[in-house]
Structure 1
Amino acid sequence: MIIFDCDGVLVDSEILSNDIDAELMSAAGYPITAAALIRGYIGRPKAEIWAAIAEERGVPWPDGLLEKADALLLERIETDLQPVAGVAEALALIPGRKAVASSSALPKLRKALARCGLLEIFDPAVFSASQVAHGKPAPDVFLHAARECGVPAERCLVVEDSVAGVHAGLAAGMRVIGFTGGLHSYSGHAAALLAAGAVEIVTNMCDLSDMVSLQRP
């Protein structure tokens, strides 16, 4: 089975999400760029990212700010979200079972996939870190996906765009392909995923089916 992360792998939501977060955090007195958030934090559940940065700044966020970020992102999903270029074509070329395992909350995850015309490809095998005890880089969501689909973890291959996601896949006993074809990809992205343990890097969706064929357990 092939397990896909969603944000930055299937849909180009990382740019939208981190732009919103950076703007709200900066307005609340913690100047930070979307690029810095992407480089340092992607792959983890949003609430954990906000909590970690609040601890760094030493001051809690204003009440309701995270909820405002979530609401703004849902609005942007409805109007601006696009699938990663070539993803539908790439998925059609990959045989066998497929699942999604994401750090996003389940309602947002399903909304994003539906907006991009991808939900029916995976449904009902769409899983969120909100369904397990610990988000990435813990392996919980990948193990949950494998268990719910009745597939041994060692028979799963993960496609991930974040260091946290690579660590989670490896901790679950799965091989991980790194993906750097999203709009949020940054200088050093591929090197960071390889250093985290990705077996190979795919930079364009048109190459994904061939790489899956080579790396499939």
Structure 2
Amino acid sequence: MQPELVIFDCDGVLVDSEVIAARVEAQLITEAGFPITGPELAERYAGLTFRDILLRIEEEASIPLQASLLERAEKAVDRALARQVEAVDGAPKAVLMTTAPRCICSNSSPQRLEMMLTKTGLKPAFADTVFSAEQTPERRPKPAPDVFLFAAERMRADPANTFVVEDSAHGIAGAKAAGMRVIGFTGGRHSYPGHADVLTEAGAETVIGRWADFQPILAALSQWSEAR
């Protein structure tokens, strides 16, 4: 059975933005009194919004972080992404080869998604099927399932026959909570040793490290669904 819907995360899955954002955010957090590198930030807080990252750090380190960091980080990351963001290698071809209905579900703002997808040439492949957690009624980001369920309703798809491609444990948690099946992805430049294990433990049925493997894996998992 062909999937009724294939959902792609954006950051770190379609566009190689995570490594850029982590570098900028880590510098701001370090300057605020909590030393951390970009790779450390990407690994420890993958999939979280910057607001949630700051809350986690405040809880873990008992360091108050200024609310002004949010606005500063958003502007700095947007500037860096506008200059540097590129599509993940193989992503445009993999998306176009996906014959099932497809969409994007992301924690990024609609404005940032528009900019990144336009710059990387991916926007025409999705048209108006790009969903931000900010567009959901409660505006709850992943790991809440809201954006996934919102997309499935808009696309008139059964969550049980929907596949999601995610690069973070938080994203996988949200997709699983929505009743969807998940393929983990470790092909972004922010990937780290043990990344695949983290995604598997979070609930991914399998993990791929390059887009060339996506179509065969999707077909195999779809057939397995029929056999169950």
Runs of 4+ in 1 over 6 A off after TM superposition: none
Identity %: 39
For residues 97 and 125 of structure 2, the distance between their equivalents in structure 1, rounded to whole angstroms, comes to: 12
Larger mean CA deviation between 197-206 and 56-65 belongs to: 56-65
Instruction: Give, in angstroms, the shift of residue 153 of structure 1.
Output: 1.0
Where 2:124 maps in the other structure, the secondary structure is helix
Q: CA deviation at 1:63?
A: 4.3
Match of 1:161 in 2: 167
1:85 deviation in Å? 0.4
Gaps of 5+ in 1: none
Question: Which stretches in structure 2 are left out of the alignment for 5+ residues?
Answer: none
Does 1:173 pair with 2:166? no
Aligned-residue CA RMSD (Å): 1.3
TM-superposition CA deviations, 1:53-106 (whole Å, max 9, x none): 233332332342221111111111211001000111111221121100011111
Match of 1:111 among 102, 115, 129: 115
AA paired with 1:151? A
Determine if the alignment matches structure 1 residue 55 to structure 2 residue 59: yes
In structure 2, what is the Cα distance between the partners aligned to 1:75 and 1:40?
A: 24
1:39 equivalent in alignment to 2:29: no
Aligned to 1:142: 148
Match runs of 1:1-217 below 5 Å: 1-132=5-136, 133=138, 134-216=140-222
Separation in 2 of the partners of 1:22 and 1:166? 24
Paired with 2:98 and 2:67, the residues of 1 have a C-alpha distance of 45
TM-score for both structures, normalised by structure 1: 0.95
- Paired amino acid for 1:138: A
CA contact 1:94–1:212 (8 Å) conserved in 2: no
Structure 1 contact 169–176 (Cα < 8 Å) conserved:
yes
